[in-house]
């Protein structure tokens, strides 16, 4: 029964294989699959439309102009610079064509170009479109706006930067204003509408995202980090909306409060209606393939003649930092998805983030978290190591039983069971630390994989990015060496085949860990070193009869 340890190692190796293939799938670019052009499901209340067009029209309308799903970037552009981002806004539609984040880098490497979150074209297309809908002319994402400036910069000492655009036609004047805030990734969008005509106007607002094809996945892809659309309503809470499901199950939900979003690995784009405004959430699968998710207001704002009104929406365009997302909108922090072990991963992240806040180094925080985990499980580990130490003392007697019974495995098994009973030992005791460690290891893997703060986070010397593999493979080699030391401290395996498996385990594990994030390998190395020290101390006490 002691020979269950090799089985557990094999199980863990299989888990590592699946995690490794997941990591490789994320790190390797894949060809864009080709899909046929599809007829887009109509948005709520709209009439049938041709392919490649989406119609977020007002409910029960019949003849409202439909904005095209393609963002037009012709005409002059306005450049906006803040402390967190740089945005390029085209006067055609007054939509953000490009947006880069100043505090993050494109290739997870310092000194490279800033990370482009919004991209108007290409394989990684990700854009936002917003505009107005009505029975008469109103500006949508392809309407021409005018502006008095082409460059806006957030000045020192100022908290907000407002960027206005003007549109006027047939008795209607609309001023669309973006509001950028210092140290924030939330962008306010307001439409100030002045009706100078003699007729009342019923006007709706829409806000939507378009995204290019998702990464290619495989049947074994565990998808701990969700990449796709999602939405939140007070009634249904957080719901995922995978890209492949949009064609068969397009979103059509009416809610008051909530949001729609598209999650990338570390970053997020979310469209957030005012909490008091009923909205219709919708989605569509376009040809390309491309995917759309958005919302439109469910009720019109009536702008009477010679009166004015204001429609507002919010955009979040930035990193998936849980503490920040919680302050933006209810449930938005749930887009940081740790998979089926969220119940373990969320507390691990909470502790890790608090330690880093005090220490100021994510690598040191991982080390201290590992120490804390070992302290929590110390009683269990101590009992297990005592059991393993006693097993070491029984090795001569077990070898004698092996020699006595030879190839009679049934008799050998029964003799070992009798020996365990005589010594009042549980042969499974030495396996408990590994059993407990597996779910913690997987949960921490997901935490380290989706924690944007570890992206470009340095540790020491050659490790400049804890979210990327160790460039010189020092940590994986140390991890393999620590496994060899652990095997020397463990009781010898009786079965020859299992003994050979155990000999190859350090090599197999080291190979997997060569490609894992340095932060995860750091956790495993520290965990192994602490286990070695604890096991060495307990073995010494047991062998001296001080148990």
Q: What is the pLDDT of residues 283-316, one digit of tens each?
A: 999 887 889 999 999 999 999 999 999 999 999 9
212-221, 246-255, 322-331, 424-433 — which is least confidently predicted? 212-221
Question: Which of 290, 11, 310, 327 has its CA nearest to residue 123?
Answer: 290
Q: Which is more confidently placed, 423 or 185? A: 185
301 or 247: which leads in pLDDT: 301
Q: 31-155+202-213+237-299 — its CATH code?
A: 2.70.98.90
* pLDDT band with cut points at 50, 70 and 90 for residue 30: very low
pLDDT score, position 34: 32
Query: pLDDT confidence of 68, banded at 50, 70, 90?
Result: very low
Q: Is residue 517 over pLDDT 70?
A: yes
Q: Is the pLDDT of residue 10 over 80?
A: no
What is the model's pLDDT at position 219? 35
Average pLDDT of span 115-144: 89
pTM score of the predicted model: 0.77
pLDDT above 70 coverage of the chain, percent = 71
Residue 300 is classified by DSSP as: P
Mean pLDDT of 238-264: 92
Task: For residues 161 and 182, give the distance between their C-alpha atoms in angstroms, rounded to a whole number.
Answer: 8
Nearest partner of 16 among 437, 464, 385, judged by Cα: 437
Pairing label, strands 77-81, 151-153: parallel
**pLDDT averaged over the chain?**
79
Which of 62-71, 89-98, 139-148, 307-316 is predicted least confidently? Answer: 62-71
**C-beta neighbour count of 51 within 10 angstroms:** 12
Among 13-22, 89-98, 464-473, the minimum mean pLDDT is found in 13-22
**Distance of alpha carbon 522 from alpha carbon 301, whole angstroms:** 56
Q: From CA 160, how far away is CA 181, in angstroms rounded?
A: 5
**Rounded Cα gap, residues 320 and 262, in angstroms:** 11
DSSP state, residue 462: T
The pLDDT score that the predictor gives to residue 413 is: 73
Q: How confident is the model at residue 494 (pLDDT cuts 50, 70, 90)?
A: low
Q: How far apart are CA 192 and CA 166, in angstroms?
A: 10
Q: Give the whole-angstrom CA distance, residue 518 versus residue 321.
A: 20
On the question of a cis peptide bond just before residue 96, with omega within 30 degrees of 0, the verdict is no
Place 547 in a pLDDT band, splitting at 50, 70 and 90: very low
pLDDT value for 389: 65
The residue among 322, 340, 342 whose CA lies nearest residue 331 is 322
- At 185 the pLDDT is 97
Is pLDDT at 484 greater than 80 in this prediction? yes
In the chain, domain spans: 4-21+345-543, 31-155+202-213+237-299
102-116, 152-166, 219-233, 471-485: lowest mean pLDDT where?
219-233
> Could you report the per-residue pLDDT of 446-462, keeping only the tens digit for each?
887 788 888 878 888 88
Distance CA 173, CA 150 (A): 21
CA dist 279 and 274 (Å) reads 9
pLDDT at position 441 over 60: yes
* Half-sphere exposure (Cβ direction) of 317: Cα atoms closer than 13 Å: 29
Q: What's the DSSP call for residue 534?
A: H
Confidence of residue 58 (pLDDT cuts 50, 70, 90): very low
């Amino acid at each position: 029964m002691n020979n269950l340890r090799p089985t557990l190692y094999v199980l863990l190796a299989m888990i590592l294989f699946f995690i490794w293939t997941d990591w490789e799938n994320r790190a390797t670019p894949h060809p864009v699959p080709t899909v046929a052009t599809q007829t887009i499901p109509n948005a709520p209340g709209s009439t049938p439309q041709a392919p490649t067009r989406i119609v977020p029209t007002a409910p029960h309308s019949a003849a409202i102009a439909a904005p095209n799903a393609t963002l037009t970037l012709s005409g002059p552009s306005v450049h906006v610079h803040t402390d967190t981002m740089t945005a390029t806004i085209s006067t055609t539609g007054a939509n953000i064509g490009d947006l880069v984040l100043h505090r993050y880098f494109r290739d997870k490497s310092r000194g490279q170009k800033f990370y482009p979150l919004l991209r108007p074209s290409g394989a990684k297309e990700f854009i936002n479109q917003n505009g107005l809908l009505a029975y008469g002319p109103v500006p949508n994402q392809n309407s021409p706006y005018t502006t008095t400036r082409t460059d806006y910069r957030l000045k020192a000492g100022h908290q907000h930067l407002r960027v206005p655009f003007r549109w006027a036609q047939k008795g209607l004047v609309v001023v669309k204003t973006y509001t950028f805030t210092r140290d924030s990734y939330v962008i306010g969008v307001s439409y100030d509408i002045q009706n100078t005509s003699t007729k009342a106007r019923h006007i709706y607002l829409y806000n939507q995202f378009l995204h290019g094809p998702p990464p290619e996945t495989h049947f074994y892809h565990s998808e701990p980090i969700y990449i796709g659309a999602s939405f939140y309503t007070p009634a249904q809470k957080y719901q995922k909306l995978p890209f492949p499901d949009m064609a068969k199950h397009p979103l059509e939900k009416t809610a008051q409060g909530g949001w729609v979003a598209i999650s990338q690995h570390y970053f997020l784009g979310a469209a957030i209606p005012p909490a008091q405004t009923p909205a219709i959430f919708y989605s569509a699968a376009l040809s390309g393939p491309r995917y759309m998710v958005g919302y439109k207001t469910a009720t019109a704002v009536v702008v009477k003649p010679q009166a004015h009104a204001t429609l507002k929406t919010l955009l979040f365009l930035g990193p998936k930092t849980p503490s920040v997302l919680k302050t933006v909108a209810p449930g938005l922090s749930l887009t940081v998805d740790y998979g089926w072990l969220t119940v373990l991963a969320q507390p691990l992240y909470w502790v890790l983030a608090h330690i880093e806040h005090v220490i100021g180094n994510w690598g040191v925080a991982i080390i201290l978290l590992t120490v804390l985990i070992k302290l929590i499980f110390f009683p269990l580990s101590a009992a297990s190591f005592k059991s393993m130490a006693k097993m070491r003392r029984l090795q001569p007697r077990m070898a004698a039983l092996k020699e006595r019974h030879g190839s009679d495995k049934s008799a050998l098994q029964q003799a070992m069971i009798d020996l365990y009973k005589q010594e009042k030992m549980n042969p499974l005791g030495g396996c408990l630390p590994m059993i407990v460690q597996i779910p913690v290891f997987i949960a921490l893997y997901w935490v380290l994989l989706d924690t944007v703060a570890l992206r470009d986070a340095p540790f020491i010397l050659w490790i400049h990015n804890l979210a990327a593999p160790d460039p010189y493979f020092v940590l994986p080699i140390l991890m393999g060496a620590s496994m060899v030391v652990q095997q020397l401290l463990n009781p010898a395996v009786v079965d020859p085949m299992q003994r050979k498996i155990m000999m190859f385990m350090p090599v197999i594990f080291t190979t997997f860990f060569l490609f894992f994030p340095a932060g995860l390998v750091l956790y495993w190395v520290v965990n192994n070193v602490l286990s070695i020290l604890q096991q060495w101390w307990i073995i010494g006490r047991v062998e001296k009869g001080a148990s």
